[in-house]
Amino acid sequence: MMKNYRYLLLLVAVLICGACDKYNYTDSLQGLGKRVEDLEASAKKLNDAIDALNQIVVAIENEGYVTKVEKSADGTYKITFNDGKTVTLRNGTDGVNGEDKPLLVGAAKGEDGRYYWIVNGQVLRDKDGNPVPAGAIDGSDGKDGVDGKDGADGEDGKVIGSYTIPTFRINPVTRTWEISNDGGKTWENTGVAADGKDDMFLNVEISSDRKSITFILRDGRRFTVPLQ
């Protein structure tokens, strides 16, 4: 009986090894890891761009200006502002056409003269229905948000002063963008697929007299800051 049992175990082992030859689980896991890394990289790129736009709005609302523009060989721009803050931008690969349904994030000036976050053409609102201001400035009461616990990967939500900078992540199951407006405590599905065409900035233009720099978003909005 014991000999038969050992023979059975040996047979099962042989069959399993044969299956392993046909389906490489190691390669599959490595492929999955690469896809997760790609999702995290896309989310980081968008969140970095949102931070950059926030800094641009800060400059506009506080009569700030750009002191230096450095363009790298890889096409990125390092922008230095008069308050010492720096941001790095990359031009988008293409614009928006009738067939594209990318995630469009930007900011627009309200009737009160303040800038507010815009997501897919709609004003972003908090849980009380109030529009969320852009141009948050570092404050002593600022603190990190809470990591997302279910599903997607993303950075900590950013709570700066009394304003929250919206944070995005990609759900690895649905592969759609999710947004948090409370420092990463809760997430809402935008319904927009992460298709690799989610560059926020389309172009950076320096005026011919080099006295201003204009940042053009993928949704067509333009933000001009003095260059000194």
| Per-residue pLDDT reduced to its tens digit, 136-186 | 776 433 344 444 444 444 444 554 445 678 999 999 889 999 999 888 889
* Alpha carbons 174 and 196: distance in angstroms, whole number: 14
143 half-sphere exposure, CB direction, 13 A CA radius: 6
At 90 the pLDDT is 79
For CA atoms 53, 119, 196, 186, the dihedral sign is positive
Structural domain spans, the chain? 25-226
The pLDDT of residue 114 is 93
CB 203 within 8 A of CB 216: yes
Q: In what order do the strands lie in the sheet with 167-170?
A: 167-170, 176-180, 188-193
For 86-114, the DSSP string reads EEEEE--S----TT-----EEEEE-TTS-
The Cα–Cα gap between 59 and 194 comes to 30
pLDDT of residue 28: 55
For position 126, what pLDDT does the model report? Answer: 85
Pick 25 or 83 by higher pLDDT.
83
**How many CA within 13 A on the CB side of residue 157?**
21
- Residue whose pair of structure tokens reads 């308050």 in the numeric block: 83
Residue 147: per-residue pLDDT: 45
Q: What is the number of alpha carbons within 13 Å of residue 43 lying toward its C-beta?
A: 26
Residue 68 contacts by C-beta under 8 Å, 6 or more apart in sequence?
A: 78, 79, 80
Please give the Cα distance from 6 to 121 (Å, whole number): 67
Which tokens is 143 given? 């603190």
User: Tokens 């700066």 correspond to what residue?
Assistant: 160
DSSP three-state, residue 58: helix
pLDDT attached to residue 30:
54
DSSP state of 227: B
37: number of Cβ within 10 Å: 11
- For β-strands 212-217 and 105-109, DSSP reports them as unpaired
pLDDT digits (tens, 9 = 90+) for 163-174: 678 999 999 889
